[in-house]
Amino acid sequence: MFDMENVLLRLALQKSGRLSEDSLNLISRCGIKMNNGLGTLKTSASNFPMEFLFLRDDDIPGYVADGVADIGIVGENVLFEKNKLVMEVHKLGFSKCRLSIAVPREVNYKGVSDLNGKRIATTYPRILQRFLDENGIEAKIHEISGSVEIAPNIGLADAICDIVSTGSTLFTNGLKEVETVFRSEAVLIGHPHLSETKQQILHKFLFRIKAHQTAQNNKYILLNAPKESLETIIKILPGMKSPTVTPLAQEGWVSVHSVIDENDFWDKIELLKDAGAQGILVIPIEKMII
């Protein structure tokens, strides 16, 4: 299928954790079949010119910057913190989280100025320092790795700055979230000087990613409607160009097929019902090419 002189695009992935699971799911939905790589640090695809490296997430920006990996999937928080010379290719929309400051629950926190003179423990000193500088705050940063939440309980720090998804870990450790410092999601990054052949492979990979993302953000909708309501319904459902309309066996009725944006879904369903639509079916889309 691919005549590219046996060149492989090398993709660095987190070897374990939520980002790893989401990344592997994306690769699968892009139709790329990975050879059995469970427990290994390197494997390849059987139907696409791609090789996979399984690494610690903190190491991925460095591997891509050094050209050991051509591209990588990493959280924006890690990308910004490591500050390596790589290009951000595409936002992937999954593994969303935030980097937040948290203090003990009993602390009467009134605002960001309360952080002046405080000790803050974090594994993201660069991101935290930027936030402090932007807000004119002078605080002492303790850089630690792992178990950041315990720092206030053992007297190491007055506050922490760490990744938050649900907040349950903070609650368990007697902390409360008070400031959002940085919002993050998974991004595809690349070496800034890929060969022309590898850029072609990357382009094919991106094409598949975007088709999957577009499908996720839209639904395929089918409905029955009386002909006298058709003009109103078409205005509600313009589709990619215009809806597909076919006559039904019952005189005076048509079937309308279209695509609806996920964000507009419930509002438009109400409008469609008010316009006389019946038998509305909504179907997920696996891939969508526009």
Name the range with the highest mean pLDDT among 13-17, 31-35, 131-135, 258-262.
131-135
pLDDT at residue 50 tops 60: yes
Residue-range domains of the chain with CATH: 9-94+186-215 (3.40.190.10), 97-184 (3.40.190.10), 218-284 (3.30.70.120)
Calculate what percentage of the chain has a pLDDT beyond 90. Answer: 74
The residue assigned the tokens 């991925």 is 60
Q: What is the mean pLDDT of residues 162-182?
A: 91
Q: Residue 173: which of 187, 192, 154 has the closest Cα?
A: 154
Cβ count within 10 A of residue 15: 17
Q: What is the mean pLDDT of residues 250-257?
A: 92
247 burial type by CB count under 10 A (0-12 exposed, 13-18 middle, 19+ buried): exposed
179 or 266: whose pLDDT is higher? 179
